[in-house]
A and B are shown apart, each in its own frame.
Chain A
Amino acid sequence: MSSFMGYFMLGSALFIILSMALMLGRLLGGPTLYDRLLAVNSFGTKTVLFLCVFCFIIGRPDGVDIALLYALMNFIATIAVLKFFNYRALDVGLTQSDEVERGDAR
């Protein structure tokens, strides 16, 4: 990797970090739960991108495996948190929805 491409990748990684820091504003000050959850999901996607770019910067491309793992874990964590705040429990089947009290919008 040439030196220009190294600096370009470094600038891109800093740009992604800036975007993540801006996303923290919505995460901390979101009015509802779902705003925060959306911010967490978007933050996780940006984390995956930053991990991929960072592996190319330091020249050890093995970390893309960690990025792949993080992409899957981010999705499962989002679904699990949604299900928890919908049913207030985690061991509820996805199809039974009538007899369980639904969560409120906060």
Chain B
Amino acid sequence: MSLILAAAADVSSAAESARDIDWWGIISVIGTIVSMVTGLFFIIAGTVGVLRLPDFYTRLHAAGMTDTLGAELILLALIFQCDNLQMVLKLLLVAFFLLVTSPTATHAVAHAAYRAGLKPLLGEYRAPELEEDGS
């Protein structure tokens, strides 16, 4: 009887210690690692695409897509590591400005290159004509 009671106390203490696992720490570490590795993959994929693609517009596509997503994922990984609200808000502000300005800059570069007469490499498909009075 005393053995059973001791075993029950043991089990309850084990359950007590199992309840003490730092779940938020585990989630933050896993979230940091997954987000950071995915973001770094997108960053290096965009860089290799800019180096190796044959045409300006394809290079622009590679850089514009992957830089935005990779930057957001890396900033998310840093947000998982924050310990006060001020840092989270600052990183969210950086993420917001990158999310707004990076596609805008990509669009501006593409539009300026197309207006300056830089022709894309064309295969089977043709690019639409630009309107004359479009600014």
Contact = CB atoms under 8 A, between A and B. Distances in A.
Q: Are A and B physically bound partners?
A: yes
Interface of A: 1, 5, 8-9, 12, 15-16, 18-19, 22-23, 25-26, 31-32, 34-35, 37-39, 41-42, 45-46, 48-49, 52-53, 56, 61, 64-65, 67-68, 71-72, 74-75, 78-79, 82, 85-86, 94-95, 97-98, 102-105
Given A42-B63, A52-B74, A71-B98, A79 B105 contact: yes
Per DSSP, chain A at the interface is: helix
A95 B60 CA distance: 25
A82 B104 CA distance: 12
Contacts, number: 140
A72 B71 contact: no
B135 interface: yes
Interface string B40-58: 1001101110110000100
Interface in B66-81: 67, 70-71, 74-75, 78, 81
B74 A49 contact: yes
* 4 closest Cβ pairs, A-B complex: A75-B101, A34-B113, A105-B118, A78-B105
B91 A64 contact: yes
Contacts of B44: 15, 18-19, 22
Per DSSP, chain B at the interface is: helix
A83 to B, nearest CB: 8
Contacts of B94: 48, 52, 64, 67-68, 71
- Counting chain B CB atoms within 10 Å of each CB, the highest count among A5, A19, A97, A98 belongs to A19
Nearest to A67: B94
Interface stretch (B8-16, B28-36, B121-129): B28-36
